[in-house]
Amino acid sequence: MIDWEERYRTGDTPWDKGGPHPALARLLPLTVPARRILVPGCGLGYDIAALAAQPDVDAVVGIDVATSAVEASRTTLAGLPNTRVEKADLFALSETHRHAYDLVWEHTCFCAIDPSQRNAYVHAVADALRPGGHLLAVFFLTPWDTPEENATQGPPFGCPAAELDRRFAPRFRLIDVRETPATYPGREGREQVRLLQRV
């Protein structure tokens, strides 16, 4: 298992690009109801800030297991009253998060967790959403160059699109899937944006 706190403490955070994912700006304004938004594995909180700036967003809640990330994101988000960051494990969320959100924004949390936790991720996110709520995700399908590396190396752990279809199908209906409209240099063609609705 990865010691995420240690990664932040030692500055071993290659995912930290200093701002929100470039696709997020292109996906805004959101086309689905999103008054309350959850960001699992929120890291340093940049995506939270971008989402919180949208009109009609009452609350964006970030969760992360790493204390240093939580503290840094609270600093990033100071002055944004419709944001909150909790130190919490996605796989052990308290009852207060149950059915509490209209939207979950996923970006580099799913690829960070151990592949053995993927079904638990699907259930955790579905349980946090109200019935009919949405999951908007940038999935990192192929962080590595070969199928073998994508199957065995990580984080980030690659995930074939067909596996996403299969794992999310029990709890979600796939509404839209497309290549990321914008991304970081080097990630072109490696990601997919998906909009799913909790069934």
Ligand X SMILES: C[S@@+](CC[C@H](N)C(=O)[O-])C[C@H]1O[C@@H](n2cnc3c(N)ncnc32)[C@H](O)[C@@H]1O
Is 158 a binding residue for ligand X by CB under 6 A? The answer is no
Is 86 a binding residue for ligand X by CB under 6 A? The answer is no
Single residue of 43, 133, 143, 158 touching ligand X by CB under 6 A: 43
> In angstroms, rounded to a whole number, what is the distance separating the alpha carbons of residues 89 and 24?
24
Measured from the CB of residue 105, what is the shortest distance to ligand X in angstroms? 9
> In angstroms, rounded to a whole number, what is the distance separating the alpha carbons of residues 122 and 161?
15
Q: In what order do the strands lie in the sheet with 59-64?
A: 83-87, 59-64, 36-40, 101-107, 129-140, 191-198, 172-179
Give 74's contacts (C-beta < 8 A, 6+ positions apart).
Answer: 45, 85
Single residue of 91, 132, 146, 149 touching ligand X by CB under 6 A: 91
Measured from the CB of residue 69, what is the shortest distance to ligand X in angstroms? 5
Cβ neighbour number for residue 54 with a 10 Å cutoff: 15
In the bound state with ligand X, the residue whose beta carbon lies nearer, of 76 and 82, is 76
Query: What six digits make up the tokens of 114?
Result: 């151990």
Measured from the CB of residue 75, what is the shortest distance to ligand X in angstroms? 15
In the bound state with ligand X, the residue whose beta carbon lies nearer, of 108 and 142, is 108
For 187, phi then psi, to 5°, come to -100, 5
Closest Cα partner for 93 from 138, 159, 41, 36?
A: 41
Measured from the CB of residue 171, what is the shortest distance to ligand X in angstroms? 18
Is 63 a binding residue for ligand X by CB under 6 A? The answer is yes
Single residue of 30, 52, 61, 66 touching ligand X by CB under 6 A: 66
Is 138 a binding residue for ligand X by CB under 6 A? The answer is no
In a 10 Å sphere around its CB, with 0-12 CB exposed, 13-18 middle and 19+ buried, how is residue 24 labelled?
Answer: buried
- Span of 30-38, 48-56, 104-112, 162-170 interacting with ligand X by CB under 6 A: 104-112
- Return residues touching ligand X (CB under 6 A): 4, 15-16, 40-44, 63-66, 69, 89-91, 107-109, 112-113
